[in-house]
Structure formats: structure tokens, C-alpha cells
């Protein structure tokens, strides 16, 4: 496995723990709950190895990663009933292949436009995060 000692996804460092909570490993990735929950149920799917672009992985790895993304999206739809799920894979400032899966709700924050990366307004209690993660796991 390829890792970068400066990457929060590879090293699972303190910054990563401030931003998200690890839920579980999937076929080709790790699933995280984004702590900022202005978009209820928002998650991140991060590829298991340190690469920055989809074209840097094999066809098989890409297919497994996209299966993970689709599986998580289906789980989010079942768990949180959003109108739509937005997908973001930017990596401009954090060079590690990962997807933000952002549930969008009618009359919710930025519905009908691009989601905000980190509104920094909605944080939950540890108990609420735990309950949300249990619901996600039950539907995975």
C-alpha cells in the first residue's frame, strides 16, 4: 500500500480526526462521517492508497472504488432520504483520491447549487455522531 506521511487520509492524524470519524473499511476505500453536518449524513469515501487521480489506479481498483461510492450513496439515500446526493472529488489542497458524498434536501442548505465544502456551523454531540454511524452501518 502506498502512503504519504503528510497525508491526513494516510496517517489518520489529528487534523483528520477533527474533521471526520472513521466508520469502516470498504472494498477499495475507507468510509468516514464528516463531522460538520450542515448536510445531514455527509460522508467521505477515501481510496485506500495514496494517489491523487482516478487514472493513477488500475481499472479493477477504479471499479471497486466506484462500487464503494455507489454503495455508500445508496446507503445514504436509505438512511437519510435526501432528494439528491452531490459528489465532489476535488483534491486541490489535499492530494489524496477521495469523494465527498453530500446529501441535499429540498429547502436545505445550498439546495439547487453546489454544496459548501465546510460551512462550519453544524456539529453534533458524540452520542449523535455514534447514533448516525450506527444507522449508516445498519444500512451498509
The answer to whether the beta carbons of residues 91 and 97 sit under 8 Å apart is: yes
Three-class DSSP category at 50: coil
Angstrom distance (rounded) from CA 50 to CA 53: 10
Q: Cell 481499472 sits at which residue?
A: 59
What's the average model confidence in pLDDT over 70-96?
94
Angstrom distance (rounded) from CA 50 to CA 2: 5
Looking up residue 71, the CATH number of its domain turns out to be: 3.30.428.10
Instruction: Assess whether pLDDT exceeds 90 at residue 5.
Output: no
For residue 12, the enclosing domain spans 8-139
pLDDT band at residue 83 under the 50/70/90 scheme:
very high
C-alpha of 18 from chain center: 14
Asked if residue 3 belongs to a domain, the reply is no
Over residues 12-54, the pLDDT tens digits come to 888 889 999 999 999 999 999 999 999 999 999 999 999 999 9
Instruction: Assess whether pLDDT exceeds 80 at residue 1.
Output: no
Amino acid at each position: 500500500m502506498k502512503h504519504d506521511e503528510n497525508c491526513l487520509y494516510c496517517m489518520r492524524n489529528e487534523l483528520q480526526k477533527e474533521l471526520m470519524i472513521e466508520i469502516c473499511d470498504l472494498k477499495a476505500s475507507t468510509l468516514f462521517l464528516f463531522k460538520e453536518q450542515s448536510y445531514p449524513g455527509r460522508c467521505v469515501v477515501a481510496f485506500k492508497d495514496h494517489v491523487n487521480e482516478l487514472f493513477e489506479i488500475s481499472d479493477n481498483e477504479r471499479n471497486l472504488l466506484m462500487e464503494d461510492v455507489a454503495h455508500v450513496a445508496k446507503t445514504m439515500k436509505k438512511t437519510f432520504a435526501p432528494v439528491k446526493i452531490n459528489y465532489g472529488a476535488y483534491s486541490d489542497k489535499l492530494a489524496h483520491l477521495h469523494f465527498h458524498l453530500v446529501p441535499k434536501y429540498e429547502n436545505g442548505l445550498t439546495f439547487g447549487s453546489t454544496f459548501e465544502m465546510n460551512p462550519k456551523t453544524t456539529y453534533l454531540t458524540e452520542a449523535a455522531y455514534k447514533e448516525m454511524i450506527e444507522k449508516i452501518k445498519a444500512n451498509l
